[in-house]
Structure 1
């Protein structure tokens, strides 16, 4: 009976200790309670990963969806204006809608080509710059849409097309980074992504002496970040060749 009572008291004490810990994993002994916070940290990491991944996906998909939506809207708008002409030319055709869409696409492509040729001239470029500064840049979403189009078909350098090894701690420790901007004084603005999720990171403004641009494809650099540093040999070898 005395043995049963002692066992019962031990179970009650351990149960109270388990409840008081309020954590996922616990090891309770007669000498006290040992709390483990691994589960709490794991949940926090999962939360951050889901949030940054979702935001990263939105940043990529939203501009593309906006571009597709506007292109489709323009095609439908021009096609509706051309349908009376298509009916006049071929009133019995069952492919009037497809013909109108095809002609609309050709009209839009021709218009883009004509505008492109125009803005390459001195007068056209001047008119476009005035129009952009005074009107277009004030339109909501114009800058975002313009940057998105440049990413797909433009010839300008992408914000994340330049790779570098940078020293952000003032010593010989180097981290993988992407050069996002250069400044008249020779300094750089760089983005240092986190691994294995490169959609989040930190932005640094560094003097040229702390930035070492390297000739490595952005895809290989992203792959090394996602794989937690595996494949970084390419970056180190490129640094030694410079």
Structure 2
């Protein structure tokens, strides 16, 4: 009993850390970006604030709004750039040569993409799969269907959803459930916590 409690505590704690970690990283990254942009355009913000005849209490909010506007515009123009063929080449070259070598970059990127609900995910739907063709089921994501009736699924390993196993199964052992990819991914990251939606979505099929 004590061993099971310790395992439950460790996996739950680790799952919480994995869920919170991308948010913390994004928060620190945004704080760093805000400070860098703020220092870079300080002469501009000082000029705007000094030319406006408003009470001193409005100086900081105005400066903050200017910095946020510059960041938003910067993100917008970067987004426009990466929509072009040249921009995509520059981005992928920089990512492959620099960003991909940063520890944890891939995991954070994939996790953030799932939380943001990016549509470029290769997962078409969520399924509970019987990889050993018995009563045991695993959380998986359907990645391909084949003309011979086989289904390819990716079964991630928690709490890191970027690693896992690929299985090619008969359709009868793959049970699609009406659960969003984002919800299923959160349960994987949380080491199974929050899987109630998956089980509940399957119940009408196994208990008509």
The normalised TM-score by structure 2 is: 0.71
1:176-215 equivalent positions in 2, closer than 5 A: 176-179=138-141, 187-191=152-156, 204-209=165-170, 211-215=173-177
1:235 paired with 2:202, answer: yes
Contact kept in structure 2, 1:82 and 1:100, CA below 8 Å: no
| 8 A contact 1:162–1:213 mirrored in 2 | no
The structure with the largest alpha-carbon Rg is 1
Note the C-alpha offset of 1:175.
1.6
Task: Count residues with an aligned counterpart.
Answer: 190
Residue 14 (structure 2) pairs with residue 55 (structure 1): yes
Query: What does residue 27 of structure 1 align with?
Result: none
CA RMSD of aligned residues (A): 3.9
Task: Deviation per CA, 1:72-95: give whole Å up to 9, x if none.
Answer: 221122122223222223337523
CA pair 136-228 structure 1, distance change in 2 beyond 3 A = closer
Asked whether the 8 Å contact 1:187–1:208 carries over to 2, the reply is: yes
C-alpha deviation, 1:214, in angstroms = 0.8
Q: Match for residue 135 of structure 1?
A: 98
Q: 1:125 aligns with which of 79, 88, 110?
A: 88
Whole-Å Cα distance in 2 between the matches of residues 122 and 215 of structure 1? 37
Q: Mind listing any 5+ residue stretches in structure 1 that lack a counterpart?
A: 1-41, 194-198
- In 1, the alpha carbon distance for the partners of 2:21 and 2:101 equals 20
Check if 1:169 corresponds to 2:169: no
Structure 2 gaps, min length 5: none
Change over 3 Å in CA distance of 1:189–1:88 after alignment to 2: closer
For 1:137 and 1:231, the matched residues in 2 are separated by 33
Query: Hey, what's the Cα distance between the residues in 2 that align with 1:209 and 1:187?
Result: 9
For residues 240 and 205 of structure 1, what CA distance do their matches in structure 2 show? 28
* Bigger Cα displacement from structure 2, 149-158 vs 124-133: 149-158
Relative to structure 1, the CA distance from residue 65 to residue 190 in structure 2 (aligned partners, 3 Å threshold; closer, same or farther) is: same
Once residues 18 and 194 of structure 2 are traced to their aligned partners in structure 1, the CA distance between those partners, rounded to angstroms, is 22
- TM-score normalised by the chain length of structure 1: 0.62
Q: Is the Cα–Cα contact under 8 Å of residues 131 and 169 in structure 2 kept in the other structure?
A: no
Alpha carbons of 1:234 and 1:137: their partners in 2 closer, same or farther (altered >3 Å)? Answer: closer
> In structure 2, the residue corresponding to 1:84 is in which secondary structure?
helix
Paired with 2:194 and 2:87, the residues of 1 have a C-alpha distance of: 48
1:158-180, Cα deviation, whole Å (9 max, x unpaired): 87x84223223334x25252328
Structure number with higher relative contact order (C-alpha < 8 Å, ≥ 6 residues apart):
2
